[in-house]
Chain A
């Protein structure tokens, strides 16, 4: 069974940093393209970035609101995806989901982890 489990959420002050993790199981992680999506009551679902498998180049792509502040990485030896978030803003407050896509548009979602940015 495909599973992705996010962790690392919490409260942080504006300007601070936080790193989220996503533990994967039930599929060949090293072959997987992985993404992060966030959800806020105000803006709904927002795709924020992805990382390709190393066999596909291992490159990353980011949405404009987070580009330059967030970094996605992966450790295939640990079947784990990461989201490092720097220079956090109040508008980054959201539930963050990890997804895996065995094919375009076919996404398995985790349960999500809540990040609150507030002073």
Chain B
């Protein structure tokens, strides 16, 4: 199985400041069809996960443009340009390139 490793596991940030989360996969996530199926999920306290970003950098419907994704191959990142209070959550990267789909351990974003 592809192992997804996120860093950091906890990220205290100041409101209005940027935040960044890294995700590394144990194997390339480039699919045979040429796409890279790396997604980012947000899970707010008491809520189910919800999709933020798919195929590395595509924002899902309704996701604010302060969220952006980047990367290629095995190294990926999620960036929040200016953190707002509603961004307090656990963020997960997920790969859907190889079977079974696998998730990172999660990064807890909290306000300083």
Which A residues have a C-beta under 8 Å from some C-beta of B?
35, 44-47, 61, 63, 97, 101, 103-112
Is there an interface contact between A107 and B51, defined as CB atoms closer than 8 Å?
yes
Chief secondary structure at chain A's binding surface:
strand
Set B35, B48, B102: member contacting A111, Cβ < 8 A: B48
In the assembled complex, which residues on chain A have CB atoms less than 8 Å from the CB atom of B31?
A: 104
- Give the residue name and chain of the B residue nearest to A62 (CB): B100
**CB within 8 Å of A: which B42-95 residues:** 48-51, 54-55, 60, 92, 94-95
Closest to A103 in B: B54
Query: How many chain B residues touch A (Cβ–Cβ < 8 Å)?
Result: 24
A110 to B51, CA, bound (A): 12
Which of these, B35, B48, B99, B103, contacts A112 with CB under 8 Å? B48
Chain A neighbourhood of B92, CB < 8 A: 44-45
Instruction: State whether A105 touches B99 (Cβ < 8 A).
Output: no
Q: For A47, give its contact among B60, B103, B105 (CB under 8 Å).
A: B103
**A45-B49, A45-B92, A110-B48 known; A105 vs B54 contact (CB < 8 Å):** yes
With A61-B100, A108-B51, A109-B49 known, 8 other A-B pairs at CB within 8 A are: A47-B101, A47-B103, A97-B48, A101-B96, A104-B31, A104-B97, A105-B37, A111-B48
In the complex, how many angstroms separate the beta carbon of A104 from the nearest chain B beta carbon? 5
Q: List 11 A-B contacts (CB under 8 A).
A: A45-B106, A46-B103, A47-B103, A61-B99, A61-B100, A97-B49, A106-B39, A107-B51, A108-B51, A109-B50, A110-B48
